[in-house]
Amino acid sequence: MFRKEYQSLIQLLDFKERGFSLRNRQGTATSSRKGRGVDFKDVRPYAVGDDTRLIDWNVTSRFGELHVREFYEEKERLGVFFLDVSESMDWSSSEWTKAENAFQVLALLVLLYVRKGNLAKILLYSDRLEWETGYIRNTEEALSSLEKVRSYPHRKLKTDPKLPFILLKNRIRRYTDSYILSDFHGLPSLKKLTGLRRFHTLHAIRFKDRLEENAPRGFFQFFLLKDPETGAVPSPVGGNIQKNLEFLFKARCLELEGKDTDPNKLLEYWRSMS
């Protein structure tokens, strides 16, 4: 299932999690209690050290002293992983297609997530929702679900790049860590979607090909770079997509090219965002 560079990283993480390097766990989601939660519990008088963002100003004005809102503790977080399975992801100028690279990254992310005691959910999309898992709770369930993802038939499918955002708004419960894994071809303006950041922590993992970024000029450019979904040449590919992504995702954007260094690059990103 895993290429050797990803398998080596997983084996290294297994070794460290047995207790040889506890320092690497600092700042990651190891506890079964993940935050203040989202379900309102009660209002109580303010105590030194309370988060001032939780002050209930209506109650404070009524009683004349500071009161803060309390919430039931969140027991586990939900990581939602959207994987683009459209035809453009099957394109490559090198050994591995973007789809194959995306699967390796998806598998590593899901395993990292569930091994920290969190829930995970995978959704495959093209111009529609193709397939989805239930809530994945442990490594065994993760490996079973990932095997189904790996064997999912890749037909000639178009992309609706807005679909993950529509699903986040209408179908997925609030307050998730949501990852979209795609080449993001045909992505429309994201300016109207910034409200999603109030309810979800959004991550964009973009898979690109070096030939897309540095296209040779001349007669053969069209045949080398034409999008299999639209037949058009996406030009310029890199800059416009990246700027559009950064408008919504801010610093939570990671670009990968299918190199041997991708696993470490992904792990560094994971640790910096944890």
Q: Is the pLDDT of residue 179 over 90?
A: yes
Q: Is the peptide bond before 236 cis (omega within 30 degrees of 0)?
A: yes
Residue 64 φ then ψ, to 5°: 80, 10
H helical segments located in the chain = 4-15, 57-63, 98-114, 139-150, 163-170, 210-213, 221-225, 238-249, 262-273
| Token duo for residue 23 | 């320092």
Provide the token pair at 261. 């260094």
Q: What's this model's pTM, rounded to 2 decimal places?
A: 0.75
Phi then psi dihedrals of residue 83, to 5 deg: -115, 120
- Determine contact, residues 224/174, Cβ cutoff 8 Å: no
Q: What is the pLDDT of residue 145?
A: 97
What pLDDT was estimated at residue 34? 47
Tell me if 86 sits within 8 A of 229, measured CB to CB.
yes
Measure the CA–CA gap between 9 and 268, rounded to whole angstroms: 12
Distance CA 133, CA 123 (A): 7
Per-residue pLDDT at 3 exceeds 50: yes
Q: How would residue 149 be classed by pLDDT, with cut points 50, 70 and 90? A: very high
Looking at residue 155, its pLDDT comes to 80
Q: How far apart are CA 213 and CA 9, in angstroms?
A: 28
* pLDDT of amino acid 252: 96
Q: pLDDT confidence of 27, banded at 50, 70, 90?
A: very low
Q: State the number of CA atoms in the 13 A half-sphere of 142 facing the CB.
A: 23
Say what the pLDDT of residue 14 is: 77
Instruction: Say how far apart CA 208 and CA 236 lie, in whole Å.
Output: 13
The single residue listed with the structure tokens 């100028």 is 93
Q: Yes or no: is domain 76-214+224-272 CATH 3.40.50.410?
A: yes
- Both tokens assigned to 66: 């500071």
Q: What is the H or E stretch that residue 266 is in?
A: helix 262-273
Closest CA to 125 of 94, 149, 98, 101: 149
Domain range summary for the chain, segments of one domain joined by +:
39-72, 76-214+224-272
pLDDT more than 90, % of the chain: 55
